[in-house]
Chain A
């Protein structure tokens, strides 16, 4: 039983980090029909910004701040301006291909210019465990969960309780009408890209201490975020959150009780089951977009 609790908690912890990437993925899709196949690399890269800044002598907190700033600038603003804006008029498919190419470029660049080896990444939370009902729960897992939930909750409150957030919702749900009402649609779409980049950076900083910082980290992360978004209905923040958590838990359970050899298959099996049983996603409604 205590073992089971441990597995569930660390599954939720990893899942909440997947959810950050999945939520960003969903937001981009809603706001600009961008399916970002570089999302995994968006989560891989910011950890290297942290390592780079620390390599230059910056303390951890400053390195994290720099990484957040750089991510928002490069993975948010520059991504939108230099890749999405020029490609989107040509259609969704060219844009998808462009994001795949961008992902490869990011991966290869890190491998070439930083390192092909996994780099140890300093833990940001104490590496202690606490005992709950006999189960050894890691403090880092709890903190990961807390930070991810706080980020998603803040985002939800921003979208619902502020006028700017509602303008972003209006832009996602009915762009033509938002424009006619005088909403600065372009700016709202830009905000979405900045938010996605920030979520990816947070995910990066939380997840990398669990593994190592490695150029190939985005491969599974991107897939998992994509699946979590689909499982969640592709249009809903809540859905992406549930999708991410579900994948984290199933992934951990299957690694422990079945075999870690098959753990990569678990999210895919979940995806197939969901597509067969509830094609609109767990939380999705067939009527369309919801934030």
Chain B
């Protein structure tokens, strides 16, 4: 459903992606792991039209979407939940949710969709009139995921959803992602919490220096001694927030 073909790109003169290539099959969870600074977040920015791509091609549903703007990507059915906390702090939970459907022509459909999404995340209904900044970290993460569902996306790009969450909340997020996958949504996730993420994923890929080093069934990566040594030794300790 999503395919990156030999993507080169980066920031100003620095090249971060050095021929990144991989495919993400429909209705699956793919987890991307790799050392800090490998370019995982940059891959997401490239897909979502936020990076200067020098060469290569991105295909979505067979269509060339290379260098399409965020708005175009949303219209194709892709949403992006970036690393770190990404709510609109002073808007209410309800209005944050509404923002997820801001590109829709038919706003009455957005209303209906907001109700459906709040059924999936009852916490949001309870706190719908609170300012988003007043929610806890875990609640904000739920709000961001809920917001990304507003337009019924086909593909969700989600970057390190577990950062700053307690293990219980991480499991909640993963269960949510599995439920979405079972409903037919495709998920591409970046996670430092590699063991737990691969355990709920269908596929895993390892990115190093902007190149795909390994790409296989998640279970195979989980049992691969080299991956185990490099990435599965527990959590990576790194600073939060830097997108």
Contact = CB atoms under 8 A, between A and B. Distances in A.
Interface in A118-172: 163, 166-167, 169-170
Contact of B90 (A167, A169, A181, A183): A169
A289 B133 CA distance: 11
Interface stretch (B8-16, B99-107, B186-194, B207-215): B99-107
A182 B74 contact: yes
Contacts, number: 61
A181 B97 CA distance: 11
Nearest to A288: B89
Contacts of B88: 169-170, 173-174, 177-178
A291 B90 CA distance: 8
B99 A179 contact: no
B103 A182 contact: yes
Question: Interface extent on A, as a size class?
Answer: 20 to 34
A193 B208 CA distance: 44
A176 interface: yes
Interface residues of B, number: 23
Interface stretch (B22-30, B79-87, B173-181): B79-87
A170 B91 contact: yes
A289 to B, nearest CB: 7
B71 interface: yes
Contacts of A92: none
Nearest to A235: B90
B133 A287 contact: yes
A172 B179 CA distance: 34
B146 to A, nearest CB: 13
A183 B99 contact: yes
B90 A180 contact: no
Nearest to A166: B95
A180 B70 CA distance: 6
Interface residues of chain B: helix, strand, loop or mixed (majority): loop
B114 to A, nearest CB: 13
Contacts of B70: 179-180, 182
B112 interface: no
Contacts of B80: 180
A182 B95 CA distance: 15
Contacts of B91: 166, 169-170, 173
A108 to B, nearest CB: 39
A289 B107 CA distance: 28
A221 to B, nearest CB: 29
Given A170-B91, A173-B91, A174-B86, A181 B243 contact: no
Given A174-B89, A181-B100, A181-B147, 6 more contacts: A170-B99, A174-B88, A287-B89, A287-B133, A289-B89, A289-B90
Interface of B: 48, 50, 70-71, 74, 80, 82, 86-91, 95, 98-100, 102-103, 107, 133, 147, 243
Closest A-B pairs by Cβ, 10 of them: A182-B103, A182-B71, A182-B74, A170-B88, A177-B86, A290-B90, A181-B99, A173-B88, A180-B80, A174-B88
10 contacts: A166-B98, A169-B91, A170-B88, A174-B88, A176-B82, A178-B88, A179-B70, A180-B82, A181-B74, A183-B99
